[in-house]
Amino acid sequence: MREIVLDTETTGFDPESGDRLVEIGAVELIRHMPTGEQYHQYINPQRSVPEEAIQVHGLKDDFLRDKPVFKQVAQDFLDFIGDSKLVIHNAAFDMKFLNAELRWLDMPQIDYSRAIDTLDIARKKFPGSPASLDALCRRYGIDNSARTLHGALLDSEILAEVYLELIGGRQPDLVLASASDQSANNDANGDVWRPGPRPASLPSRVTSEESEAHAEFVTKLGKNPLWSRFN
């Protein structure tokens, strides 16, 4: 199972009012484990970055001026995410910007059903408690000391750790799989594999000397020792 943990930085809050993407960061998970594969891109928004946005992510006009525009990187981004689920904190925000940029290029939209919103998961798991990324890092003891400013790639890496904790810890696959997940274990005929007895017992690894010593020990346990019921 492949998932992409994703974050964006923008010039503001509303693409329909002229705000644009300035950074995309994403990391790949396979079966909930980071693979080291990542996507990171700064983007020229083709407009000035308001001071309020600079206070959040620190990306200024001079830095972004020579970066590619979204049209130049859109296909590479889509190729990286493929058809994987997208793990996003406050997914509605990032999805509206990504889809606005794609729509302006007449490119296919990303279906919202692909988004796994960690903000929604956190609010359901801890109702009434702060659910920001920083708050969740404090809750789970995740080091976010490098996060002096928002950065799409760093935030994606931190969110990947938070996501693992939200879904049950660092070994989530130890829990029982759902019925839908069992389809991955079907054989070519569509039958679900289930454990059963071996067709032939494994040969004993107990030596004759060990067997004799054990039998002698059992005789010293008195009449009708419990062990004899299973022998």
Which tens digit of pLDDT belongs to each residue from 154-210?
999 999 999 999 998 655 554 444 444 444 455 555 555 566 666 777 777 778 888
50-71, pLDDT tens digit by residue?
A: 999 999 999 999 999 999 999 9
Please, is 75 exposed, middle or buried when counting C-beta atoms within 10 Å of its C-beta (0-12, 13-18, 19+)? exposed
Confidence check: pLDDT of 219 > 60 = yes
Which residues, 6+ apart, have CB-to-CB distance to 9 below 8 Å? Answer: 21, 22, 23, 53, 56, 57, 59, 150, 151, 152
* pLDDT tens figures, 93-112: 999 999 999 999 999 999 99
Q: Catalytic: 150?
A: yes
β-pair partners for 8 = 24
CA distances, 123 to each of 8, 95, 130, 135 (Å): 21, 19, 8, 12
Could you tell me if 20 and 45 are in contact, meaning their C-beta atoms sit under 8 angstroms apart? Answer: yes
- String of DSSP letters for 156-200: HHHHHHHHHHHTTSS-GGGSPPPTGGGGGGB-TTSPBP-----SS
Q: Is the pLDDT of residue 220 over 80?
A: no
pLDDT digits (tens, 9 = 90+) for 132-156: 999 999 999 998 887 766 889 999 9
On whether the CB atoms of residues 59 and 51 are closer than 8 A, the answer is no
Q: Quick one: pLDDT at residue 214?
A: 79
Topology given in CATH for the domain delimited by 2-172:
Nucleotidyltransferase; domain 5 (3.30.420)
Which among 32, 57, 89, 150 is annotated as catalytic?
150
